[in-house]
A and B are shown apart, each in its own frame.
Chain A
Amino acid sequence: DSGVTQTPKHLITATGQRVTLRCSPRSGDLSVYWYQQSLDQGLQFLIQYYNGEERAKGNILERFSAQQFPDLHSELNLSSLELGDSALYFCASSAGTYIGNEQFFGPGTRLTVL
């Protein structure tokens, strides 16, 4: 158990819909990262938040947005869903310190868009 929790575990929805994925980082971790893993693209970094502020952006679509709340939990919002958005979405957290900075991953949310 990494200490990172993600809800829900599974999500099935239809094209055009909007969903919200939730992540609670390990206690004390300030940085939260979101990754997407699809069959054809592998594990890809989407976005990072550090202590409530966006810190880095990767291959995140404009239809996707995220935020980190004062209690440090984070949400990833996916809208106007397409079939190609079906994937595993992982959240990770790290302490946000200079040395080490190993990231600890949650169990993921499996999104299926029908």
Chain B
Amino acid sequence: DAKTTQPTSMDCAEGRAANLPCNHSTISGNEYVYWYRQIHSQGPQYIIHGLKNNETNEMASLIITEDRKSSTLILPHATLRDTAVYYCIVRDGRETSGSRLTFGEGTQLTVNP
């Protein structure tokens, strides 16, 4: 799986948009970009994933650059409960039975009142 690079930490004001960047310059054509988050010692929580196109769900939006070498996770109106470590993960989508998640260090997002 391609390696990802994320900032170690970020701060965001409550109610503002949180934009979390991720670089994955070695991503291959079969690899998807996934985002998970982990709120202090809880199980990681799936947020969103995408291949090429921008994606949006009830939790967040995912913007993938045209060359697919980087992406941004957007939490449109961050709340204190969004304080967590956010992981950007690239994984092959061809494995029909699923495949492991390789977690890096992630970004510690702190939402301030």
**For the complex, what is the distance from the CA of A6 to the CA of B20, rounded to whole Å?**
31
User: Size band of the B side of the interface?
Assistant: 20 to 34
Q: Are B43 and A98 in contact (CB under 8 A)?
A: no
Q: Is the CB of B41 within 8 A of A103?
A: no
Cβ < 8 Å to A, chain B residues 74-95? 87, 93-95
Fill in one digit per residue for B38-50: 1 if any A CB lies within 8 Å of its CB, else 0.
1001111110010
C-alpha spacing A64/B34, complex, angstroms = 28
Shortest Cβ gap from B66 to chain A (Å): 22
Structural contact, B41 and A108, CB atoms closer than 8 A:
yes
From A4, A42, A55, A95, B43 is in contact (CB under 8 Å) with A4
Residues of A within 8 A of B104 (CB): 42
Closest to B43 in A: A105
**Whose C-beta in chain B lies nearest to the C-beta of A97?**
B96
Q: Say yes or no: A50 contacts B41, CB within 8 Å.
A: no
- Shortest A10–chain B CB gap in Å is 12
Nearest CB on A from B32, distance (A) = 9
Minimal Cβ-Cβ distance residue in B for A100: B49
Residues from chain A with a CB closer than 8 A to the CB of B99 are: 48, 56, 101
Q: Does B43 contact A106, Cβ atoms closer than 8 Å?
A: yes
Closest chain B CB from A98 CB (angstroms): 5
In the complex the two chains form, what is the Cα distance from A23 to B70 in whole Å?
35
Between B41, B94, B99, the greatest number of chain A beta carbons within 10 A of the residue's beta carbon is seen for B99
Contact A45/B101 with A92-B43, A104-B46 known, Cβ cut-off 8 Å: yes
Q: 16 other contacts beyond A48-B97, A94-B98, A96-B98, with CB at 8 A cut-off?
A: A30-B97, A33-B101, A43-B38, A43-B103, A48-B98, A56-B99, A58-B100, A90-B44, A92-B44, A97-B98, A98-B94, A98-B96, A102-B46, A103-B46, A103-B101, A108-B42
B contacts, CB < 8 Å to A: 34, 38, 41-46, 49, 87, 93-105
